[in-house]
Amino acid sequence: MSHSRRLLLVNGPNLNLLGIREPDVYGHETLADVERIVADAAADRGYEVRAIQSNHEGVLIDAIHAAREDCAGIVINPGGLTHTSVVLRDALSGVALPVAEVHISNVYEREQFRHFSYVGDVAIVHVIGEGVAGYARATELLIAAITGLAEG
């Protein structure tokens, strides 16, 4: 498969707890469910997905750098790093791949510190507050954007 038909799915710190803790905020689906949802949405459009979740910022950054070699775009829920991490933002901006930012919860209806995203203006797709189904929509929109970019 050519590098142009693969996406990197990145889930940041604590998202391994999906479906296990705080179902009132994040729902009952697990991280494995999220990874399947994205893989299915991508496969419907002829793309495959490499998925990573880590609680370690440097591991996420290394995975983002590696995507430059063989991925056409990145779907990312940076978790709490959304609101704190210049280095994660720099990694995304540095690889210059199209990025879709996903948040399961509606961050704008939560604490003030969740309203700002360091990733926001690096991403070309934003899906916020649609639950885990939002990952599928973000994947569809990202592939549409990639296709549009390729067609010029």
Q: Which residues of this chain interact with ligand CA2, rule CB under 6 A?
A: 14-15, 17-18, 21-22, 26, 77, 79-80, 82, 103-105, 107, 114
| Nearest of 26, 32, 37, 100 to residue 67 by alpha carbon | 100
Cα–Cα distance for residue pair 95/138, rounded to 1 Å: 19
> Looking at the chain, how many residues does it have?
152
Q: Which is nearer to ligand CA2, 54 or 72 (CB)?
A: 54
Residues whose CB is less than 8 angstroms from the CB of residue 88 and which lie 6 or more positions away in sequence, other chains included: 12, 57, 60, 61, 64, 78, 81, 118, 119
Q: Spot the catalytic one: 28, 65, 103, 135.
A: 103
| Active site (annotated) includes residue 103 | yes
**Which residue lies nearer to ligand CA2 by CB, 90 or 130?**
130
Q: Check if 47 is active-site.
A: no
Q: Which CB sits closer to ligand CA2, 62 or 130?
A: 130
Active-site residue list: 26, 103
